[in-house]
Structure 1
Amino acid sequence: MADDDIDRTASLMTPAKLAQVKPRAAASPAAWLDQMAADAAHQNVRRIAELRRQFKEQAKARDDSAIAAGIARLAKALPHLDFGLLQGHGIWSRMTGKSRAAATEFAGRFDKLKAAADEVTAHIKGFDKQVRDQAPAGDLSLLDLEVEYKAIEKVQDQGARWLQDMRSQLKTRHAQNNDAAAAKQIGDDEARCEILVARLKVLREVSAAAQGAHQAARAAVARRLSLAQALQQLGARLADWRSKMQALVDATTGERESASVDAAMECHRDLQLALRDAGADCAQMRAQDNALAESLHALKQQLEAAQARSPA
């Protein structure tokens, strides 16, 4: 094959790969070109496989089940706080034993809810810290994955141009009077084109799967940040609820002069709505994480196909 054909095949490789290639005297140029065509972009493929493992490890390090379960438990328990215990019993005068018993029961139920609310608050703080701690590594993995799949796309473009040029040359060479040696070389070059065609098809699938995983990972990051912000707002509502409810309990037990039952009831209803929304946000986060897991599995399948013929 002519020197310019070798240059075109070499252009399918990244600069890093070209720098690592060492000529082997024992290998024929044709065999070398065949190997390069079959293994185009194999370093990018290998790096994407490493990044896929990073995304899997990062996903394992995240555990959102605790906060979702805590929110669900509190949401289920809140309706059991019966404000009717405080209505119609003269809670401010506390003149009858019946009123005192009702107030004591209400305070006991609130104490149980407060413990569940404190658990959710602790989970919110832990989730926020987890998001902040994992953000740098996650952002770097996203950037690296984008770099690698775009590098593969560049190899695809280079390979397509090389194929177009080579096939144009082959057409011209076919029209010439060729001896047996020339005809064999034409056949070898045609076979080499088919090797590259097969490789480019595999790379196209890898690039598409990597891009899909990248999009899913970015969506998961955005969803996680959105959930963190929503949970911070929930934390503020929990603090307000705890304050108003404690004031009400203190008033019923005589530890303070008065408190607004209506304000406490409204705050209680608002918290129930906030917990419902937070539960939905957690469910959306799980759905996004599942979508990411599926995209990483699809990427794994394409990587295995691409690495089957790549060097170790």
Structure 2
Amino acid sequence: EEDALVDVLRLSKGMTYKASAAGLNLGGGKAVIIGDPKKNKSEALFRAFGAYVNSLRGKYITAEDVGTTVNDMEYVFMETPYVTGIPKAFGGSGDPSPYTAHGVFMGIKAAAKKKLGLDSLKDLRVAVQGLGNVGYHLVEFLHKEGASLIVADIDNEKVKKVVDQFNATSCGADDIITSECDILAPCALGAVINDNTINQLKCKIVAGGANNQLAESRHGEALRELGILYAPDYVINAGGLMNVFVELEGYSSDRAFEKTTQVFDNLMQVFNISEKDGIATHIAANRLAEKRIKMIGQLRTHHHGRTARPFSTLKEMLSREK
């Protein structure tokens, strides 16, 4: 339980900063369910969780994340309206990975603009580590842009599929981090930028969808000293959160994709703060997030702690419950 508490506090802080840097009027609530997602899932478990979420009456809105699926959220939805990422058949947004990937793609374009002065990724060598849902869709966007692709995954079938479908070059899962490329896009596990890898990097930019890409904060400083531009993970991978935000307002796939284009401008703000203040980009991202948190906090105080709820869908649900 202690480990779960530490984990959920870390996740909630990260979500608070992600929402703030993305310009979304959301807090940072997170939840952890203790158990093995391969063994302990059940309808009863998720319905019980949904009932508890419902008891909070909108103070916390849950969503699909690591270890859960869109189908799991369907069980939660049976007990509460305060859930996003539900199947499209129920008016939800379904799988968020295409939107996360599109945000990452826009973030890569921002990094290429800042570091290389390029508006297009055509012919740039992009190494994508991890071909799960986000990694696969990212490769699809990069291929359409004309990028030259290097890919790796521990699942050889996924690698073969992407190589055949997108004319990519495969690389060993242990070697892709240090492969020669213009842009390294980590889309698998975290902490890939660490003491063992950082001095072996042969890229100009690190920009991918994985969470917690820096093993430690000092590795962000080291990237800056090496002249490698780092796109902070919680800024570049905010597309999934943007997608569920749109779901709260009444879902539209077109509107969700349009919203994820904002990742470009958000990252440019981070890069400009980094350049102006002479600090690493992950520190600049924190400053951007903290500035908005402080600003919104002052607005809440000015309005006696009350802020308007922008979510008409939830308003309607609440009125029906009364």
TM-score range, shorter chain: under 0.3
Higher helix share: 1
TM-score by length of 2: 0.21
Please report the TM-score for the alignment, with normalisation by the length of structure 1: 0.22
Greater relative contact order (CA < 8 Å, ≥ 6 in sequence) = 1
Quick check: which one's strand share is greater?
A: 2
